[in-house]
Amino acid sequence: MNEVQIRDIVLDALSAVTPDADTSGLAPDKSFRDQLDYFDSMDFFNFVVGLHKAFGIDIPEADYPRLSTLDACTRYFKTKLG
Amino acid sequence: MAEFRMPSLGSDMEAGTLIEWRIKPGDSVRRGDVVAVVETRKGAIEVEIFTTGVVEEILVPVGEQVPVGTPLATIRAEGEEQPPPSVEATGRATVSAPPTSPAATTARAAAGATRLRVSPAARKRAAELGVDLGRLAGSGAAGAITLDDVEKAAVARPPTRPAYRAAGMRQAIAAAMARSKREIPHYYLGTFIDMRRALDWLRSENERRPVPVRLLPGALLFKAMALALRQAPELNGFWVDGEFKPGAGIHPGSAIVLRGGGLVAPAVHDADSKSLDEVMAALRDLVQRARAGALRSSEMSDATITVTSLGEQGVETVFGVIYPPQVALVGLGRIVERPWVVDGQVVARPLMQATLSADHWVSDGHRGAQFLALLDRLLQEPERL
């Protein structure tokens, strides 16, 4: 899977939990939390569940801080999927 | 003949706009069915019916805004005779029945009989523009109505309803809170809770759980609070007609801030008797549906107490304003590492400030203090929650 494909999947998972927000103009290096108003721990939880389903790999809780931006997510899954 | 009326979905709601009918005359309905979608200042809410029977007549067409309590439809209850058709009834039905144009029929059939597939953005825009979703044939996946479909449909005619939600919401909240502060003699208590045990337990629990069934601290707090409320019935219920009516169950509402502006606090029913996993699942589901504009009327109107977790947004302390007719509100702050004294030693501990705002008509500070102390104790034994 290449970076573009990974990024698309991440964005899909994000849109699924924030259907009321516009995720098209997100800065890739800034945290989702800072850019999406009211993105709380439950939204983040639902986002991680979506990623887990889409990529089919375990995501330990200790890794959650590595999923805070679009770039970070892409790097994380690129490494994980090898 | 029973009337199905515009429900009150909170003390700050005066009127609602009917944006979708999921029934038509002649349909059978059962108690608990979602029969309509109503746009309020809190977004689109799915409204359930509390009568079992057959839909007789639709009284309010899609797009119309009516005050709380207005009859929306008439239902012939089970076993009732069908009345003979009268000129008056027939005339009215012709005027106000929902559209049965071929396009509407196609859209509904494609969407599986009654459920229209509409994206939240399209639903919101349709309400702003006064577009009847039932008249549209969706061009999206599985016949879903898209934002584009709505905007195309609106070009044909001028908008009939102004976008009132954002500004109206502010006004509605202000009115309810002014009433709360005027009529409810609030008292406020706060306490720091050492969250070390709770967080340690959660960490080890989550290590052995797969992603979808992990737990958040919020679920633990919610469950502990619901259990503590068993010992503090004066905090759980409603002030109605000059007297306190204890809640029929413990149904705490979880305050969720909506991106479109506004605040909802849908209830988790019987949270005290749900397992931790069930509470977590319920909270997840509420947040997802609140975001998608698919909360139900029963969840909106029967919360017996409200919990606000402004700690999510970074604050350490929140003293909330009680949401009438409720009589108490619990505020949960952010969990922060702070110096704490344990056995004479200063150590770093994750602390959370829990607060209680409660109504002096019903309880006093002594009772409130017992409640917070019990909440603290319960959180020191997370494995028992």
Interface pTM, i.e. ipTM: 0.91
Contact B291 A37 (CB under 8 A): no
Window 58-77 of A: residues touching B by CB (8 A cutoff) are 58-61
- In this structure, chain B runs to a length of 385
Q: Indicate the SS3 state at residue A49.
A: helix
User: Biggest alpha carbon distance in chain A?
Assistant: 33
Window 63-82 of B: residues touching A by CB (8 A cutoff) are none
The per-residue pLDDT for B80 is: 64
Q: How far is A35 from chain B (nearest CA, A)?
A: 12
Q: Cis ω on the peptide bond leading into residue B25 (within 30° of 0)?
A: no
Q: What is the DSSP letter of B211?
A: G
- Mean pLDDT, chain B, whole residue set: 84
| Alpha helices (H) along B73-214 | 87-96, 102-110, 120-129, 147-155, 165-183, 196-207
Contact A20 B292 (CB under 8 A): yes
Summarised one tens digit per residue, pLDDT across range B259-279 is: 766 788 999 999 999 999 999
- Specify the higher pLDDT residue, B115 or B191: B191
Contact A20 B218 (CB under 8 A): no
Contact A20 B288 (CB under 8 A): no
Which of A19, A48, A59 has its CB closest to that of B120? A19
Summarised one tens digit per residue, pLDDT across range A58-81 is: 999 999 999 999 999 999 999 999
Percent of chain B scoring above 70 in pLDDT: 83
To 10 degrees, what angle do helices B196-207 and B217-230 make?
A: 120
| CA separation for the pair A58, B6 (Å, rounded) | 46
Q: Residue B244: which pLDDT band, with cuts at 50, 70 and 90?
A: very high
| CA separation for the pair B20, B132 (Å, rounded) | 7
When mean pLDDT is compared across B31-35, B89-93, B182-186, the lowest value belongs to B89-93
Summarised one tens digit per residue, pLDDT across range B94-142 is: 333 333 333 433 333 333 334 567 777 777 777 767 677 776 777 776 6
